[in-house]
Amino acid sequence: MRKVAALWRLMRPYQWVKNGFVLVGLIFGHGWSDHDLVIRVAALFGGFCLVSSGVYVLNDIMDRHADRAHPHKRARPVASGDVSVPVALAWALLLWIGGLLWAFSASVTAAVIALAYIAINMAYSAGLKHVAILDVFLIAAGFMLRLLAGTLGVGIEPSRWLLGCGLMLTLFLGFAKRRAELESLASDGDSSGREVVPQRRSLQDYSPALLNPLIGICAAGSAIGYALYTMDTQTVAMHGTDKLIWTVPFVLYGLFRYLYAIYARGAGADAARDVLGDPHVIGALLGWLASSYWLIR
């Protein structure tokens, strides 16, 4: 049972909330009344949960030596020795195969997108994560592929405004993650009284002076992009309402609350934990979902 529990932890199931991007097309494409489409999107969501978990396993394998020197990450299953490298690698392959099969059950296009997600993340883990700016764009690409899988992958035409908003939002989360990692590095250095070498080499090329404006630009782009989406003539025609603009306050509150958490509490290192751990952000998310459904149902 201990080995099973370790394999489960290796999958990081709490991170599956990020795969909610797969559901965006179903929500805003009025697809919830199509039983077959709902089943396909549900299978695709499950497929991306397995595929993304396989990526997390690969990351833990690649980072195991650095993780052992980290005060928190050293407890990860591979770094701690609870799961051996060969077993972890076999587990990653099994997760990828299962995830691709689920994605294939949705469509061939969805399976190709899921395969592209794996390829991008393999390149990221192999070394591109050490290239400043590019590393964050690759993180954003993973989210955008989820969004495309849930739209193009199941025959839903994605809104250009929604794609732009999604890109800005995921860049925002990526740059916030780098800032939190920098803050953690500085904190570790201050507490130990010595200079700490960053685990991620790209952090040497980042600074708060660079990241703060990038975070602000991406947050503003996300808010403006979503507001423009709600007012777009195609959006109004598709949903039969021009009232989606009233959902913007929920989006703004969620963004501003997350910005508060970044700058006041040092959050941002783990978006999934930050979102699930802040009742204000959860409330904004639920309010946005409820109001959107009520307006476009």
Structural domain count of the chain? 2
In degrees, rounded to 5, the angle at the alpha carbon of residue 189 between the alpha carbons of residues 184 and 195 is 125
Torsion of CA 151, 156, 157, 159, to 10 degrees: -60
- Confidence label for 195 from pLDDT (cuts 50, 70 and 90): very low
Query: Which DSSP helix (H) or strand (E) runs through 36?
Result: helix 35-62
CATH number of the domain that residue 100 is part of: 1.10.357.140
Q: Please give the pLDDT value at position 52.
A: 96
Q: Which of 236, 237, 281 is nearest to 258 (CA)?
A: 281
**What pTM, to 2 d.p., does this model score?**
0.86
Residues 236 and 194 in one domain: yes
In this predicted structure, the answer to whether residue 199 has a pLDDT above a threshold of 60 is no
Residues 129 and 61 in one domain: yes
- Confidence label for 187 from pLDDT (cuts 50, 70 and 90): low
Residue range 83-98: mean pLDDT, rounded: 95
Residue range 131-144: mean pLDDT, rounded: 95
In this predicted structure, the answer to whether residue 191 has a pLDDT above a threshold of 70 is no
Residues 202 and 101 in one domain: no
Mean pLDDT score of the chain: 89
Residues 216 and 275 in one domain: yes
Q: Greater confidence, 218 or 235?
A: 218
Residues 167 and 140 in one domain: no
Residue range 142-150: mean pLDDT, rounded: 94
Domain range for 153 is 1-157
Q: Please give the pLDDT value at position 198.
A: 52
Burial class (CB in 10 A: 0-12, 13-18, 19+), 91: buried
Query: Which DSSP helix (H) or strand (E) runs through 297?
Result: none
Residues 143 and 168 in one domain: no
Residues 21 and 125 in one domain: yes
